[in-house]
Structure formats: C-alpha cells, structure tokens
Structure 1
C-alpha cells in the first residue's frame, strides 16, 4: 500500500520543515550571542550612519577571509529583526546596516541592555542542563541543573564569583528597563507609600528607579548577604542582607520582581507568608500590599501573543531552577494559601504583569 500520495506529500514536506526550523532554533540563539561577543551593535552605533559590510569587517577586526561569512551571519540577524539595511547616502549602489530597537538593547552602554542576560542564558553553565534533560526526567533530581552539576544554580552562584557576577549583571539591565516601565505605566501603584522593600532585589536597579521617582519613599533592597555586601545606598535607598525564607523587613509594600517563578509552590507560600507578616507588623495605617512582577500564563493560549515567550521561560525555570510560570488559578492558590484575601492583575508589562496582593 502506498504510504505517501500526492495528497500527503506536501503535508510531509511542511512537517519536515517545521522540524528543521525547531531543530535549528539554537542557531538563532548562538548567532545572537556571536553578535554580542563581536560587538556588532556598538560598531554600527559608533559609525553614526548605515555601515557597509566592508566597514563592519574593518571595525570588528574580522579576518578578511571571513567577510562573506559575516555577510551570512548578518543576513540571518536581519531576518530575525536585529538589524536592517538601507541605501548608503553617498553611494546608492551600496547598502548599509543600521540598528533596530532590538539591537539597541545590545549596546554595551545601554542602561536597559540585554547583553548580560544573553551572555548568562547562553553560557555553557545554563545550556548544559538541556543536554541532561532526558536523564533528569528519569531520576529524582530537583532540576536538570542538579543532574548536570550536582548542585543547584544558587549553590553554584554562591561558590563561583564569576557566575554570580554574571547572574547579577543579567538581572541589572532588565530591572532598569522594567523599573522605568513600571514608573511610566503603573506609577499610581507606589503613590501614598512611605516605605518599600524590594525582596531579592539584586544590585538594586529596580529599587533605584522607584526611589528616583518617589524621593520621599524609603526603599530597601533585601537580598542574600553576598549579593549586597559591596553595594552602597544613597538618599532614600539602602541595602540589607538577609534570608527571605526566614523573615522580610517591615514596610508599607513588599516588591517581588521576577522572584517567585524561581521556586516551588511551598517555597513561594513561605516567602509570601513572610511578606504578609512584614505588612502585618505595620499597624499605623491601612493599605499594605505585596507587589509582584511576574508572568501569568493564560488559560486561552491562542489569544496570548506572548505565549511562546512564557512557555520558553517556563522550561528554563524547570531545567535550571525548580520553579515555573503560573496561570491565574495557580497564582491565586499561592496568595490564598499564604493568607491573603484578594489580588489584582494588571497585564501591562509585555509578557509580565504587575500583580497587587492584599492581606
């Protein structure tokens, strides 16, 4: 019996192409990493106008024999939306590369830059767990990271200063960007507060954005002692070392930015209970709340244009940590299990939402 007919051959070819596309997704990631390592965005930006291939080769000190190879790399990066082409002003026979909004986030001096996060996520330390994923599914290790290295990511970061710096730097650019976005899109969330604690706030970029926007708001960045040991506060911002699983400093509001997705439900409930206790100790006025910035996976994925982003982050959390991206029901279960009475989700931060949770 003929297994392939004229009616099915196109479907098979499409299916094969679909497999190829996904099989080679890693090439898109590694090409982006190469662009960051070569400093392509910075070279084009410094040029000040569309940059021809030969000019880019010269600026990057690319070996002349690799000129056409760089052209092929740029062709893929253009297709992926990181760069664009236009005619060169003084020579319309040539085209030059220029930056897109995405490649501007690759500039080294961009305070909202994504290069550190790209470097972290595509570092061999965080890619190796994926080689162990099938093995992990068949053992009882908490994550594929543990299967790969015999310790958790947090244990590794506390032992290896270079990896810890990479981890903190990767969060810094994102915190600067999302901090600015929150002030622009959700500024009312912080109005009327006298004090705020940014739990697991890292190097403090998120808290700095809030502190700058609200000079009378006392902001505290609360993180592990080795994270904040060498950080200096200023004006209405200070740093405090501690353990969020033991206690959280009291404040009008507690901020958890991109934190809870790293942890299991039981650990999240523990953190949230400590946050609630920190609010309960403030008896002088009403209105205390926990502010969460994290992803909410939609139940109707077809209507969510950020679904793939959220699902990819979910697998990253599963493989390298022990957490997950949650849907609204899962978030609500955490809040109510921790003793909170109500919450409000404001999905205005792209793939992430700002969630206000009230005692």
Structure 2
C-alpha cells in the first residue's frame, strides 16, 4: 500500500474505534448529569477547579478527584465542558460550553436535556440495543424492547411507577425543547384555532405552552390514564385519559408532537383516521411536529435524525422522509399537507382532511 492508502486505512480504523467505544462518551455524559457537574459550575458563576466540583457533589465527602479528572478530560475533548489553565499557574479551571448549558437543571433553566440523558441511558433502555441483529433476522414479530423485557415500553411505564416517572420527566423535557421555535414558526396560525387537542401529550407541557401564549384556545391534553393521572393543573387545559387507538376528543384542530414516530405505519394510519373523525371535515386541521428525514442531507441535524431513526427502531417506531409522510397521511385520510421548516431538528406538518 502507498502512503495515501495507508492514511486512508488508518482513518478507517479510527472510525471503527470511535463507533466501538462510542458508549464511553455516552456513559461519561450520563455520569456528568448524575453528579450534577453542569449545575455545580453554573452555581459558582465562573469556571471552577476539580476540587471545587468534587466538594459540591451530593452524597459524598471524599470524591475520587483523579477519576473525576479522567472523565472531565474526555468531556472536554468532546467540547461538553471547557478547560483552561490560569495564567498564574494554578489548577485547571472548568467551565460550561453551549453543550453543557443543556445539562443545567437549576430553576429558571427552560432548555435542558438532562432528564432525557438519564432515561436514554437507563439499563431498561440500553438492553434493547443488544437485540438489533436478532430483530433483523426475525422480522417485526416483536420489537427489540419487547425481546429484552417481555413487554413494550408503554406497558412497562403503566406497570412500573418509577419507570413511568423517569419516562414522563424525559418526555416533558423533550416536549419543552424546540417549543420556542415551534411557537415562533406557527404563532400566526394559532389565532384561528378555538379548541386544540394534544394527542399523546404526556403531562401537558406542549398544550400548556400553546394555551398560555394563546389564551383564547380551549386546550385538551389527551394521553393514557396513568400518564394524565400525574399531570399538573394548567390554566385553560383539561386533562383527558384514553387511547388514541380507540378515539380522540373532538376539537377544531389536533396536534401530535413526537408521537407518530413511536409507531409503525399500520398503527399510525389508525391514529390518523381517529384524528380525522375528531375534527371538522372542512376547516379541521392536523398539526404534526416530527422529524422529516433527508437521507442525502450532510448537516449535523441530518446525522442526528438518522440516529433518532435507529433509536425508534428498537421501540417499533421510525422517523420518516417526506415521501413516507405523504403516503402515511393519504392512507390516514389527509390528502393535503404543508411542511413548515423551523430552526430545529423537527418540522411542522400541517395536514387537512380535504
């Protein structure tokens, strides 16, 4: 091999190493969230030393500083945290970056991903990844999650209160993220809606945000009974328990945010048909907030969207291209649609029954 091919082979090997040990990034990130490192740095109001971080970690009086240093070294390389050596030659100081600001959970922090980090890296959510090859061989007889645990994630949440809280906290966090872009990208259209149902709305974060900004809207948060049972009260929002596979409360419009990607095409068509029955035939509208895959896209959001698709794969769901969304909507009774792009991973899809 010549020097050019040697270099290419080395880069190929490094790429495999990165994939092979990608879990180290995941676990280091989870460790940082569990230790509350972003909160500790934020509470000091300035970059801090490892010893200052260690002294502020809850639940221990003698943290292992050398181990903490090695974890932070990797997270600094990944630009989750920043580190710099002070000019006076003192200990290295660690600060927040735009990435670690998403891990701050202090009061007043509207945008944070910490609960989602904890849920996605919980042993119950990690186990299904070991069943991907088996799922490919055996087909869609059972999802990787069910192969790992003997039940689907929704059943697990209904039977295990601790997992239900973990799941609801993560979904509430997920619901908040992107809402600013959604509200800005759709604000003029909310004025024409008198009543709105959030189907699969979890504990009501999305509909509460919409109603707060548009108090003329009568909001209904619709989800499974065990989910809405833990939902807080919001002005102008009614919580309704039920199954979207059976029926949906009636309203002028329906919003589905990060719901349809949880399900295969057959289940989605059933949900869409129930949504169609619940809105006016002429003026009714369906607002879908989901990823629209761009298979040929080269940007960072396109890369994350591909990861999201594989994540949904283990639960029996999928992310979809525009063509796949079009086919799904037509099958579900919504022949007209319009895609509104917003500055986030998600897009807004308006769909109409006529």
Q: What TM-score, normalized by structure 1, do the two folds share?
A: 0.91
Is 1:294 aligned to 2:290, yes or no?
Answer: yes
Contact 2:181 / 2:344 at 8 angstroms: preserved in 1? no
CA distance, structure 2, for counterparts of residue 293 and residue 64 of structure 1: 46
CA distance, structure 2, for counterparts of residue 197 and residue 152 of structure 1: 25
How far does residue 87 in structure 1 lie from its aligned partner after superposition?
Answer: 5.9
Partner of 2:69: 71
CA distance, structure 2, for counterparts of residue 64 and residue 166 of structure 1: 29
Equivalences for residues 155-166 of structure 1 within 5 A: 155-166=155-166
Residue of 60, 79, 101 corresponding to 1:81: 79
CA distance, structure 2, for counterparts of residue 85 and residue 185 of structure 1: 37
CA distance, structure 2, for counterparts of residue 174 and residue 232 of structure 1: 17
Contact 2:81 / 2:96 at 8 angstroms: preserved in 1? yes
How far does residue 11 in structure 1 lie from its aligned partner after superposition?
Answer: 2.1
Equivalences for residues 1-359 of structure 1 within 5 A: 4-60=1-57, 66-86=64-84, 91=88, 93-109=90-106, 110-140=109-139, 141-280=141-280, 286-302=282-298, 304-319=299-314, 321-359=315-353
CA distance, structure 2, for counterparts of residue 322 and residue 162 of structure 1: 23
CA distance, structure 2, for counterparts of residue 209 and residue 222 of structure 1: 15
Contact 1:232 / 1:239 at 8 angstroms: preserved in 2? no
Report the RMSD for the aligned CA atoms in angstroms: 2.0
Q: Residues 35 and 238 from structure 1, CA distance in 2 versus in 1: closer, same or farther, beyond 3 angstroms?
A: same
How far does residue 86 in structure 1 lie from its aligned partner after superposition?
Answer: 4.5
CA distance, structure 2, for counterparts of residue 291 and residue 95 of structure 1: 49
Q: Residues 81 and 293 from structure 1, CA distance in 2 versus in 1: closer, same or farther, beyond 3 angstroms?
A: same
How far does residue 94 in structure 1 lie from its aligned partner after superposition?
Answer: 4.5
How far does residue 6 in structure 1 lie from its aligned partner after superposition?
Answer: 4.5
Contact 1:232 / 1:238 at 8 angstroms: preserved in 2? no
Q: Residues 41 and 174 from structure 1, CA distance in 2 versus in 1: closer, same or farther, beyond 3 angstroms?
A: same
Where do 5+ consecutive residues of structure 2 fail to align?
none
Q: What TM-score, normalized by structure 2, do the two folds share?
A: 0.92
CA distance, structure 1, for counterparts of residue 229 and residue 186 of structure 2: 31
Cα shift readout 1:229-267 (whole Å, capped 9, x = no counterpart): 243434311100011011111111100000000111111
Aligned to 2:243, the other structure's residue is in SS state: coil
How far does residue 126 in structure 1 lie from its aligned partner after superposition?
Answer: 0.7
Aligned to 1:77, the other structure's residue is in SS state: helix
Contact 1:179 / 1:205 at 8 angstroms: preserved in 2? no
CA distance, structure 1, for counterparts of residue 150 and residue 17 of structure 2: 33
CA distance, structure 2, for counterparts of residue 72 and residue 186 of structure 1: 45
Contact 1:179 / 1:207 at 8 angstroms: preserved in 2? no
CA distance, structure 2, for counterparts of residue 332 and residue 49 of structure 1: 50
Q: Residues 254 and 94 from structure 1, CA distance in 2 versus in 1: closer, same or farther, beyond 3 angstroms?
A: same
CA distance, structure 1, for counterparts of residue 122 and residue 242 of structure 2: 28
How far does residue 312 in structure 1 lie from its aligned partner after superposition?
Answer: 0.8
CA distance, structure 2, for counterparts of residue 215 and residue 128 of structure 1: 43
Aligned to 1:343, the other structure's residue is in SS state: strand
Contact 1:129 / 1:145 at 8 angstroms: preserved in 2? yes
Where do 5+ consecutive residues of structure 1 fail to align?
none
Contact 1:211 / 1:236 at 8 angstroms: preserved in 2? yes
Cα shift readout 1:11-70 (whole Å, capped 9, x = no counterpart): 221211111111111111111000001110111111121112222222227776832322
How far does residue 5 in structure 1 lie from its aligned partner after superposition?
Answer: 4.9
